[in-house]
Every structure is written in structure tokens, then in C-alpha cells.
């Protein structure tokens, strides 16, 4: 973590970063939307190392089978989305990963479809880390995957550049979904497909319920989001952007009875070797005390404890909102760009 501090791009120190990030969330929703670049960049400067340590290289949820390892379930979830894209398999096909993080899904999908994938992320640290991990992957061909820095609200690619586009729990960071989806439509070839998993409020969300509003706010603060909108609004935005929507479904509400929920990794466990140990009544205080000790001993930079608390509160809110069914990380939409 101390090594990462020298690579921060939104602030000079972790402590300054978490204070500045928290201040952004004290602003109005309109102000957060206007400053989404600063908000998202500050968040991922602080969160990326925590995510990679506790989650792996793919920063998203999944629906594990009871006997399935988490990493396997993550790959299946990515393959399920990639399978929605038409005519994209093969070395001559080129996909775009919108909001690629450190490139876990990009590398998995490139191997799955034997295609080329470019990933774009706003955060420079994620670009550097993603390209480092790609260079260490001996299965990939040279040049098969690459991460680039850029804003998916203003994609730095020519019209009709890609055979397919996907986004995994990433466009929830967009301040304007119609504009975001419109940019994706622009860089797609005619007749090509865009598929995504969105974070959305469901019809069970009640804006008049104070506890619902508190969970929504904690999710936004703990996950670098300017605002969370509903599934209906996301679907309407896809159509307004010009996509012909062929499929939409909240996978969290439609899976079989023997599949674990997407909230499972956030549920308490007494298995000391599981990252879920930190969510029980004993493990949580132990992890927090260990992080505080590391900060005191200067093994971790100042501000690490504050960052952990923000991320932890966001995780608890995700879990609780998911259990109530007022929020989903699994709203799948598939849309096609009309052929001329």
C-alpha cells in the first residue's frame, strides 16, 4: 500500500485522497455528476489495491454454484456476457471493454473468444497495473489485450471501430447514461452488439424510506458512484441512445434455487481462511485493528483506516440492499446498433 501511494494520480497522499473523496460526496448530486472524473479517479486510486487483495483481478460480482470456486464463478459470469455478443470470435475480431479496471475480464474474455480486446479506464494506476498483469500472462498473444487511459463519456476511438463492446458493472459511474451509451453506439460497427451488467435500483426501492436512502448513499460513497438510477431508467437510456434492445433481465431475480446470491462474498463466515471472515463480529474488529496497527507503524500510509471504513460501509450497504431486493448488480442489457 505504501508503494502505491507514490503512484496516486488524484492526490499526493492516501490521507489527502480519502479526505478529498469524502468531501466530494458531501456535495449535491448535480455537483457530483459534474465532477464525476475527479470522483471516480480518486475512488479507484484508493480502492484498487484493496479490491485486488480481497477480490482478485476482476472487480465484479457473480452467481456461484454451491461447489464452485469464486474465481471460476467470476469467469462464468464474464463468459455469459461475452456469449451475448454476436460474431466476435477469432483473432481478427476486436472488442472494447468499457471500464476495464485492471483487466481481469478483458484477459479472460480474450482467451475465451480468441479475439483482441482493448480496455479503457479513467484511472492511470489501473492502466499501468492492467498492462503489467497482461504482460505477465503467457497464454495471451502479443498485443491481444491492452489497457488505455480515457473517459468512456468521450471515447478516444473512431466511429465504427469495434466488432463488439461490453461493460461489467462499470457504466454505473457515468453521470449521464444516454450520453455514455451513445458513445458506445458510436464506436460500434453497424449491426454489432453491446452487452452490459448494470448496477441499478429495483422497483422495490422506496425513495420515501429513510433506510433505503441511507443504503443508497452508502453504496454511492463506498463505490465511487455519482448517483444510482433504476433498471427502468437504464433500459430507457439504452433505447434513447439508439440501441435496439434484444434482451434485458435482472439475473439476481431470475436465477435457480441452488445458485448462491451475488451478495455471498459480503456475507459473514467463520472460516479464518476466507476473506468473508472480516464480516463477522470477531473478524471485522481484528482486520480493522490490524490495519490501524499497520498505519501506526507506518507500514501503511496515513488514511488507510479511513479508506477501509468507507469501503466497508459500502460493502455492508450492498449486502443489505441486495438482501432486501432494492438493488441489483446483475441487470443485464443487450442492444444492437442498427445496420444501415
| CA–CA distance, 114 with 216 (Å, rounded to integer) | 39
Q: Are 215 and 321 in contact (CB under 8 A)?
A: yes
Collapsed DSSP state (helix, strand, coil) of residue 266: helix
138 CA to centre of own chain: 25
pLDDT band at 114 (very low <50, low <70, confident <90, very high): very high
Domains of the chain: 70-257+326-336 (3.40.50.150)
Asked whether the beta carbons of 73 and 61 are under 8 A apart, the reply is: no
- What mean pLDDT, rounded, does the chain reach? 88
Contact between residue 211 and residue 236 where contact means Cβ atoms under 8 Å apart: no
C-alpha R_g of the chain: 19
Q: How far apart are CA 86 and CA 190, in angstroms?
A: 12
Residue 7 confidence (pLDDT): 58
Percent of the chain with pLDDT over 90: 63
pTM exceeds 0.85: yes
Cα–Cα distance list, 309 to 11, 36, 287, 295 (Å): 19, 22, 11, 14
Q: What are the tens digits of pLDDT across the range 35-84?
A: 666 667 777 776 787 788 778 999 999 999 888 999 999 999 999 999 99
What count of Cα atoms within 13 Å lies in the side-chain half-sphere of residue 295?
16
What percentage of the chain has pLDDT greater than the value 70? 89
Among the listed residues 251, 267, 315, 218, the one whose alpha carbon sits nearest the alpha carbon of residue 70: 267
Per-residue pLDDT reduced to its tens digit, 169-220:
999 999 999 999 999 999 999 999 999 999 999 999 999 999 999 999 999 9
Q: Range with the lowest mean pLDDT among 136-145, 162-171, 227-236, 277-286?
A: 277-286
For residue 144, give the nearest of 118, 112, 105 by alpha carbon.
118
Residue 20 near residue 307, CB atoms below 8 Å: no
pLDDT digits (tens, 9 = 90+) for 259-292: 999 999 999 888 887 778 778 888 888 878 887 8
SS3 216: helix
**Residues 302-339: pLDDT tens digits?**
777 777 777 788 899 999 999 999 999 999 999 999 98
List CB contacts of 175: < 8 A, sequence separation 6 or more. Answer: 32, 33, 34, 36, 153, 226, 227
Q: Find the DSSP H helices in the chain.
A: 2-5, 14-24, 29-34, 36-55, 70-82, 104-113, 124-135, 177-187, 210-223, 231-241, 283-296, 304-324
Reported confidence tier of residue 9, pLDDT bands at 50, 70, 90 = low
Q: How confident is the model at residue 250 (pLDDT cuts 50, 70, 90)?
A: very high
Produce one character per residue of 55-71: b if its CB has 16 or more CB atoms within 10 Å, e if not. Answer: bebbbbbbbbeeebebb
- State the chain's maximal CA–CA distance in angstroms: 63
- pLDDT band for 255, please (50, 70, 90 cuts): confident
Q: What is the pLDDT of residues 88-100, one digit of tens each?
A: 999 999 999 999 9
* pLDDT reported for residue 1: 46
Residue 244 has pLDDT above 90, yes or no: yes
Residue with the bigger pLDDT between 164 and 313: it is 164
Amino acid at each position: 500500500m505504501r508503494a502505491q501511494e507514490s503512484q496516486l494520480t488524484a492526490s499526493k497522499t492516501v490521507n489527502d485522497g480519502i479526505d478529498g473523496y469524502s468531501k466530494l460526496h458531501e456535495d449535491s448530486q448535480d455537483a457530483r455528476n459534474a465532477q464525476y472524473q475527479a470522483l471516480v479517479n480518486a475512488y479507484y486510486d484508493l480502492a484498487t489495491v484493496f479490491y485486488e487483495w480481497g477480490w482478485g483481478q476482476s472487480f465484479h460480482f457473480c452467481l456461484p454454484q454451491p461447489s464452485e470456486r469464486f474465481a471460476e464463478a467470476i469467469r462464468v459470469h464474464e463468459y455469459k456476457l461475452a456469449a451475448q455478443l454476436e460474431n466476435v470470435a477469432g483473432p481478427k475480431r476486436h472488442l472494447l471493454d468499457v471500464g476495464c479496471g485492471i483487466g481481469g475480464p478483458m484477459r479472460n474474455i480474450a482467451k475465451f473468444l480468441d479475439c483482441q480486446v482493448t480496455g479503457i479506464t479513467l484511472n492511470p494506476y489501473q492502466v499501468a497495473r492492467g498492462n503489467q498483469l497482461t504482460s505477465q500472462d503467457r497464454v495471451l498473444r502479443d498485443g491481444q489485450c491492452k489497457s488505455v487511459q480515457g473517459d468512456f463519456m468521450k471515447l478516444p476511438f473512431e466511429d465504427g471501430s469495434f466488432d463488439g463492446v461490453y461493460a461489467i458493472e462499470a457504466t454505473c459511474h457515468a453521470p449521464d447514461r444516454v450520453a455514455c451509451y451513445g458513445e458506445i453506439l458510436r464506436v460500434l460497427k453497424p449491426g454489432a452488439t453491446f452487452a452490459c451488467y448494470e448496477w441499478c435500483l429495483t422497483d422495490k426501492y422506496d425513495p420515501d424510506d429513510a433506510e433505503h436512502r441511507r443504503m443508497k448513499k452508502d453504496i454511492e460513497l463506498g463505490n465511487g458512484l455519482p448517483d444510482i438510477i433504476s433498471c427502468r431508467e437504464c433500459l430507457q437510456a439504452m433505447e434513447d441512445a439508439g440501441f435496439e434492445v434484444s434482451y434485458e433481465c435482472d439475473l439476481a431475480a431470475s436465477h435457480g434455487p441452488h445458485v448462491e446470491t451475488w451478495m455471498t462474498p459480503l456475507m459473514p463466515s467463520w472460516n479464518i481462511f476466507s476473506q468473508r471472515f472480516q464480516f463477522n463480529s470477531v473478524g471485522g474488529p481484528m482486520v480493522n485493528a490490524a490495519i490501524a496497527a499497520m498505519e501506526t507503524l507506518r507500514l501503511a500510509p496515513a488514511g488507510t483506516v479511513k479508506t477501509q471504513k468507507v469501503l466497508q460501509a459500502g460493502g455492508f450497504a450492498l449486502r443489505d440492499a441486495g438482501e432486501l431486493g432494492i438493488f441489483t448488480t446483475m441487470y443485464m442489457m443487450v442492444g444492437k446498433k442498427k445496420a444501415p
